[in-house]
Structure 1
């Protein structure tokens, strides 16, 4: 099937529509027609008609917060699942997918932040999954989160876990929805700016930013989840 005209809805949940990762631009570079909506600012499409995929970005908010745009996004996710539109969420995006599809009690505030480059343990389910089948026994990824998605809901299939978080990557059992808690989207070229811009928050959360910058890690294997999602949307 031709990928011409395949449309991706990009929902920006951050304080700015475009993040340092510039994933919206990269999705276009990978051949998708990207329709950008700043959900954080209350911008949503009138309808999901014509969309072939949806990406949900990170946010400074929690999926459990009583905020109008979060309520609207919950409704949109459930509508998309009913239409069988593939969805991928990163960080908050993963959390709001879980909240919308598995219950608002599935997201909780951790007692402390998990922040580090980590080798995530990949589960046997990942080997046959559409987005994670390229991963081996472990996958390197930068993780940074205070909120977390529970791992024991019957509609969740766990694809990867860390030593402190049993649900780092998951998919829904029946809906075409995937959540990634970590940050595979940040490239090596973007790392210095991302860590510098977020230094104060990262250090407050217990991160050693100077060590992160010195490592200059790219974690290329983890990024295949993004390109596999693009392939799924294309056809």
Structure 2
């Protein structure tokens, strides 16, 4: 399977999604539309991953709208899709639902709580990395998947093929370090009140890879 990945900032890559792709023998292509203005076509996309970034779906940059055009084509074709943070917001906006300021800026490690058993093998509570201050509106046709203590809309699943998460399951320890050392200024103002050092010292829970794998297996299952 050809997995096309849309990356939106140098320090937020596919992380453990690449581990899952390689373990299953898939081929992964990473695009950087914010820099090169290049996107894959729908015909060459068998799965789409839309990663996070500092931009907003409400921004008016042409490539952001072009991404949503691609997302719409893939939704129409029932192509598996996974969105993280900005990526999840892009999916929700493509489906016609607004992206707004979240009730609180969350940056750091904090728990999320499973809201639906639709995807097997997900624990009731997980510790995940948050890096956002906007949030999606859960589409009416979707199922709320996760919530946090401060932001209800933390994850959704849409028609078995699409999952959007407001937080990050994908970073391994090296990826967390890359995010923090390059974007540490963004931590200021977070309600989680964690320093860069505290975020770096928190181990990535082993179960996060397992749950990420379960989600990716779910949306790609025949």
Smaller-chain TM-score range?
0.7 to 0.9
- Whole-angstrom CA distance in 2 between matches of 1:21 and 1:77: 18
Q: 2:104, 2:150 within 8 Å by CA — same for their partners in 1?
A: no
- Whole-angstrom CA distance in 1 between matches of 2:22 and 2:46: 16
In the alignment, structure 1 residue 145 sits paired with structure 2 residue 132: yes
Q: Which residue of 2 aligns with 1:87?
A: 81
- The 5-angstrom pairing of residues 41-80 of structure 1 reads 41=35, 42-45=37-40, 47-80=41-74
Q: 1:24, 1:34 within 8 Å by CA — same for their partners in 2?
A: no
Q: Which residue of 2 aligns with 1:3?
A: none
SS at match of 1:190: helix
Q: Which residue of 1 aligns with 2:168?
A: 183
Q: 2:7, 2:13 within 8 Å by CA — same for their partners in 1?
A: no
Q: Which residue of 2 aligns with 1:128?
A: 118
Please list the CA deviations of residues 187-233 of structure 1 after superposition, one character each: whole Å capped at 9, or x if unmatched: 1343334322222221354542122223x221222333432354343
Q: Which runs of 5+ in 2 are unaligned?
A: none
Q: 1:155 to 1:91 in 2, by over 3 A?
A: same
Shift of 1:102: 3.2
Shift of 1:93: 0.4
In the alignment, structure 1 residue 115 sits paired with structure 2 residue 101: no
| TM-score, normalization by structure 1 | 0.82
- Whole-angstrom CA distance in 2 between matches of 1:221 and 1:23: 12
| TM-score, normalization by structure 2 | 0.86
- The 5-angstrom pairing of residues 92-107 of structure 1 reads 92-103=86-97, 106-107=98-99
- Whole-angstrom CA distance in 2 between matches of 1:38 and 1:225: 26
- Whole-angstrom CA distance in 1 between matches of 2:133 and 2:105: 5
SS at match of 1:191: helix
For the aligned residue pairs, the C-alpha RMSD in angstroms reads 2.3
Please list the CA deviations of residues 46-89 of structure 1 after superposition, one character each: whole Å capped at 9, or x if unmatched: x3114221100111110111110110011111100001101000
Q: 1:9, 1:54 within 8 Å by CA — same for their partners in 2?
A: yes
Q: 1:163 to 1:230 in 2, by over 3 A?
A: closer
- Whole-angstrom CA distance in 1 between matches of 2:32 and 2:13: 15
- Whole-angstrom CA distance in 1 between matches of 2:44 and 2:182: 36
Q: Which runs of 5+ in 1 are unaligned?
A: 1-5
- Whole-angstrom CA distance in 1 between matches of 2:19 and 2:123: 25
